[in-house]
């Protein structure tokens, strides 16, 4: 968990995504269950389609140094339990993959919509947990096609959405591993956070 805290802190400190994180804490057991009325009030503050930017660390393969990169993106919160990230650039995962052939296969993937289940935890400011449904892709490497899953962290305060002090909606989701043909791999070099900031 210290590694995740460090990654989150690093992203928060970057000027491009400088926002405050106040609602979620390290102890998920302390998350209060909202009443139906509170949940409806929270949902009404964030319902609809949002546009903004997705921020992630770009890794220089030759030096292993990282720099912040971004891409325009949008997401829709259609109900008090479902959010859809439109055209998530799943190819970016390849930048963090240690196997060269698999990394190249990832880089050729088109963007895909990502369904996420959400659960509101606070009304003022609005905050909610995000549980991405595991993306599934077909990758061709080593002369064969493989079913590959990229699970993201779920049911954790590190995967969340919140209206920040500038009245912008900030999200964070974290890729946690890669499975190929039903077997966990060691391709992912570490947990990979993605930060969204939008209206």
Pairwise CA distance, residues 183 & 180, whole Å: 5
pLDDT value of residue 17: 32
Three-class DSSP category at 194 = strand
Q: Residue 38: pLDDT above 70?
A: yes
pTM of the entire predicted model:
0.81
Residues 6+ apart with CB under 8 A from 91: 106, 107, 108, 109, 110, 111
pLDDT value of residue 59: 72
Q: Mean pLDDT throughout 186-191?
A: 90
Say which residue, 7 or 123, is predicted with more confidence: 123
Residues 66-118 pLDDT 10s: 889 999 999 999 999 999 999 999 999 998 999 999 999 999 999 999 999 99
Residues 147-188 pLDDT 10s: 999 999 999 999 999 998 888 999 999 999 999 999 999 999
- Which tokens is 184 given? 């966990």
Q: Residue 62: pLDDT above 90?
A: no
Residues 6+ apart with CB under 8 A from 37: none
Pairwise CA distance, residues 121 & 123, whole Å: 7
pLDDT value of residue 199: 82
């Amino acid at each position: 968990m210290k590694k995740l805290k460090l990654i989150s802190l690093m992203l928060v400190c970057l000027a491009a995504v400088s926002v405050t994180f106040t609602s979620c804490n390290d102890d998920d057991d302390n998350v209060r269950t909202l009443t139906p009325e509170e949940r409806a009030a929270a949902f009404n503050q964030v319902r609809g389609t949002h546009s903004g930017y997705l921020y992630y660390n770009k890794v220089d393969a030759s030096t292993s140094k990282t720099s912040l990169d971004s891409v325009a993106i949008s997401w829709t919160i259609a109900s008090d339990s479902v959010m859809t990230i439109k055209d998530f650039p799943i190819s970016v995962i390849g930048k963090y993959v240690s196997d060269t052939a698999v990394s190249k296969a990832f880089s050729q993937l088109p963007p895909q919509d990502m369904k996420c289940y959400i659960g509101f935890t606070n009304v003022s400011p609005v905050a909610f947990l995000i549980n991405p449904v595991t993306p599934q892709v077909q990758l061709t490497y080593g002369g064969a096609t493989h079913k590959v899953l990229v699970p993201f962290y779920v049911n954790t305060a590190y995967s969340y959405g919140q209206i920040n002090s500038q009245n912008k909606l900030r999200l964070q989701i974290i890729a946690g591993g890669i499975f190929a043909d039903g077997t966990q791999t060691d391709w992912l070099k570490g947990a990979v956070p993605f930060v969204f900031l939008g209206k």
